[in-house]
A and B are shown apart, each in its own frame.
Chain A
Amino acid sequence: MTVHNLYLFDRNGVCLHYSEWHRKKQAGIPKEEEFKLMYGMLFSIRSFVSKMSPLDMKDGFLAFQTSRYKLHYYETPTGIKVVMNTDLGVGPIRDVLHHIYSALYVELVVKNPLCPLGQTVQSELFRSRLDSYVRSLSFFSARAG
């Protein structure tokens, strides 16, 4: 089991943070373009899912998987989106994504007066805490990335 990468978007589609661990293939386009493509895909999936759903939804879109990876999605009521790509063996990780939002993003970025909201997070503390939290996860593989 392994974690490939993590995206953090705000409600306007700005990529607040990106980090990767075991990523074997790049998308082949500049990072900025990749963020836009990822946000656009999630935006469309959200609207697709809300139209397709036979019942009224509460949490909405949770995850999708292909033959090689699984994308986990968590959205807060304020529109912050946490996206984590892992391999297929990982089950539901809503609590992990919620922890990244509530214990890391809110505590270290929102409550930090030196971090302007709505642009890429520059805080070194946030980066290192996030990195060590993800590395401590039970499904993070021990292999060196």
Chain B
Amino acid sequence: MAIFSVYVVNKAGGLIYQHDSYAPRAEAEKTFSYPLDLLLKLHDERVLVAFGQRDGIRVGHAVLAINGTDVNGKYTADGKEVLEYLGNPANYPVSIRFGRPRLTSNEKLMLASMFHSLFAIGSQLSPEQGSSGIEMLETDTFKLHCFQTLTGIKFVVLADPRQAGIDSLLRKIYEIYSDFALKNPFYSLEMPIRCELFDQNLKLALEVAEKAGTFGPGS
């Protein structure tokens, strides 16, 4: 499995479809006694590690679960504030799971429109005539591939850097979009895609692409 997620962005920069196909687990669970030797802080409605990186717990990781029950942002499952709960010596020893904070749907919307503008700036700053926007963005943990259609819809795929055959996958997704979203009489243009057939066929295409470009970490 080496395709992480798919985004579809309309011509105004709005996110109209998002699918996470595989999220690698980068989590660490540990039992702590009082006092907690990590510094936690509140950021964007989440409790993040600010200092005290160790044993797979990194600065920037969020508190995901306490004693095996998932937390809900900055609140525990029964509605108490996480920081308050962890500040009380009576609750120790406590087992806390840390991991990379997962993106909320709001953040996904924001990142999609952010990419929309980066795409435009990328073509403006081009040293060559007639350049498109960002087609491929490379980091050490993933590669982002983007395909913009003539009508301005952007298909974005996040995949493992070693995954091959993403270009044909992007064309395939465009085909699926034309067949199962555009030809659906109940779908209105530029609006979020809620079509069952689109979902099914997209998942199928992702599976096929993952098997075809077989350099993923899981294979």
For B111, what are the chain A residues with a Cβ–Cβ distance below 8 Å? 48, 51-52
| Interface 9-mer from B75-83, B119-127, B170-178, B204-212 | B119-127
Most buried by A among B100, B103, B138: B138
Return B115 CB to nearest CB of chain A, in Å.
7
A-B contact pairs, 7 of them (CB 8 A): A22-B127, A52-B144, A54-B23, A54-B24, A55-B24, A56-B26, A66-B122
Nearest residue (CB) in A for B160 is A54
From the candidates A44, A48, A53, A68, name the one contacting B130 in the complex (CB within 8 A).
A68
Total contacts A to B, CB within 8 angstroms? 116
For B4, what are the chain A residues with a Cβ–Cβ distance below 8 Å? 54
**B116-136 Cβ-contact flags toward A at 8 Å (1 or 0):** 011001111111111111111
A41 and B158 alpha carbons, distance in the complex (Å): 20
Most buried by A among B60, B100, B128, B137: B128
Whether the Cβ atoms of A37 and B122 lie closer than 8 Å is no
For A143, what are the chain B residues with a Cβ–Cβ distance below 8 Å? none
Chain A interface residue count, Cβ-Cβ cutoff 8 angstroms:
39
Return A12 CB to nearest CB of chain B, in Å.
20
**B57-92 Cβ-contact flags toward A at 8 Å (1 or 0):** 010100000000000000000000000000000000
A119 and B77 alpha carbons, distance in the complex (Å): 52
Whether the Cβ atoms of B118 and A45 lie closer than 8 Å is yes
For B196, what are the chain A residues with a Cβ–Cβ distance below 8 Å? none
Nearest residue (CB) in A for B137 is A64
For B58, what are the chain A residues with a Cβ–Cβ distance below 8 Å? 56
**A64-103 Cβ-contact flags toward B at 8 Å (1 or 0):** 1111110100000000000001010000000000000000
